[in-house]
């Protein structure tokens, strides 16, 4: 093989892999591979395509589909397997918190080489024994460092918003404050409307969306209702449309904000038979898993159509 032919072949291979990582629409709907970890990546991609997703959000974290220590070897193979099923990889979910996180630069470099432009990051937690303002300033500094690393490779980190105690980002204004003045093409937010509604079910989620939507680079959708158990009141995750989340109102607000990022469907309710927590085995039949996934995907697309109309 001549050097010219070799170079041409190499360039074509790289372009093919990069194309596989690009979304097929402005708001590609991704299956979360956490829920498919009872399957290999190849089988997960095939099943996700059967269900009707546009792409897969691969878990590239400890205990996920891809171990960060093996990202250089395993991520290209995973992207090819997803591509073979006819799906894209618009994003991955990582356990990166800042540039000092284990394998952070290797993960970002591997993503960039494959055309994957966005990844989920996060994990800042409050220490309630200490004043909060200095902790916010420290999170800002660490986010600034991560933004610099991301800009080197042309990718964007999306801080995932959770609900609950100690979670920086649960209040939403705090992650907005942390990311103030930074390049939101390098560090933005992955806005989880389920968690946002847990924290602000009456009107807080509206304030949250208005505040965060301009810097959101991805969204996660799930539904819940409050349930009282032995330990008191707690969110009970459920199928889309069965709980408190106003998806149509939320998606209308995103449309007004010209949001174009990937959408992740999170199915964290018990009926998913262990797959809701990322277990390597499933306790429900495959056909039941598929039914639940299709139900939620159809519900999301109905809400999206209502918001668009």
Spans of all domains in the chain:
20-308
Residue 284: how many CA atoms within 13 Å on its side-chain side?
18
- Angstrom distance (rounded) from CA 301 to CA 287: 21
Q: Which of 124, 157, 301 is nearest to 221 (CA)?
A: 301
Per-residue pLDDT of the chain (309 residues; tens, 9 = 90+): 343 333 333 344 444 444 445 444 689 999 999 999 999 999 999 999 999 999 999 999 999 999 999 999 999 999 999 999 999 999 999 999 999 999 999 999 999 999 999 999 989 999 999 999 999 999 999 999 999 999 999 999 999 999 999 999 999 999 999 999 999 999 999 999 999 999 999 999 999 999 999 999 999 999 999 999 999 999 999 999 999 999 999 999 999 999 999 999 999 999 999 999 999 999 999 999 999 999 999 999 999 999 998
Distances (CA, A) of 50 to 45, 54, 89, 171: 9, 10, 16, 37
For Cα atoms 289, 294, 297, give the angle at the middle one, nearest 5 degrees. 125
Distances (CA, A) of 260 to 31, 69, 72, 103, 257: 17, 31, 28, 29, 9
Q: Which of 116, 98, 96 is nearest to 17 (CA)?
A: 116
> Sign of dihedral through CA atoms 169, 171, 172, 174?
negative
At the second CATH level, the architecture of 20-308 is Alpha-Beta Barrel (3.20)
- Angstrom distance (rounded) from CA 7 to CA 25: 31
């Amino acid at each position: 093989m001549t050097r010219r032919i070799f170079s041409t072949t190499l360039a074509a291979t790289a372009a093919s892999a990069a194309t596989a990582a690009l979304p097929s629409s402005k708001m590609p709907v991704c299956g979360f591979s956490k829920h498919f970890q009872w399957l290999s990546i190849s089988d997960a991609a095939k099943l996700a395509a059967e269900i009707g997703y546009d792409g897969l959000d691969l878990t590239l974290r400890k205990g996920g589909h891809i171990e960060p220590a093996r990202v250089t070897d395993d991520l290209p193979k995973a992207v090819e397997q997803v591509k073979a099923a006819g799906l894209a990889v618009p994003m991955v979910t990582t356990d990166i918190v800042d540039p000092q996180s284990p394998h952070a630069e290797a993960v970002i470099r591997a993503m960039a080489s494959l055309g994957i432009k966005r990844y989920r990051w996060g994990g800042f937690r409050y220490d309630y024994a200490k004043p909060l303002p200095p902790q916010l300033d420290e999170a800002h500094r660490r986010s600034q460092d991560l933004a610099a690393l991301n800009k080197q490779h042309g990718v964007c980190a999306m801080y995932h918003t959770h609900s609950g105690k100690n979670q920086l980002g649960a209040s939403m204004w705090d992650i907005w404050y942390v990311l103030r003045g930074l390049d939101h093409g390098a560090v933005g937010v992955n806005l989880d409307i389920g968690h946002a509604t847990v924290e602000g079910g009456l009107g807080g989620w509206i304030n949250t969306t208005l505040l965060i939507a301009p810097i959101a680079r991805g969204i996660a959708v799930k539904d819940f209702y409050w349930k009282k158990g032995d330990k008191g009141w707690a969110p009970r995750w459920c199928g889309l449309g069965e709980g408190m989340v106003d998806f149509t109102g939320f998606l209308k607000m995103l449309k007004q904000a010209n949001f174009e990022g990937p959408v992740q469907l999170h199915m964290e309710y018990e009926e998913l038979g262990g797959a809701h927590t990322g277990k390597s085995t499933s306790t429900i039949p495959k056909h039941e898993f598929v039914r639940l996934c299709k139900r939620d995907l159809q519900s999301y697309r109905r809400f999206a159509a209502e918001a668009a109309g």
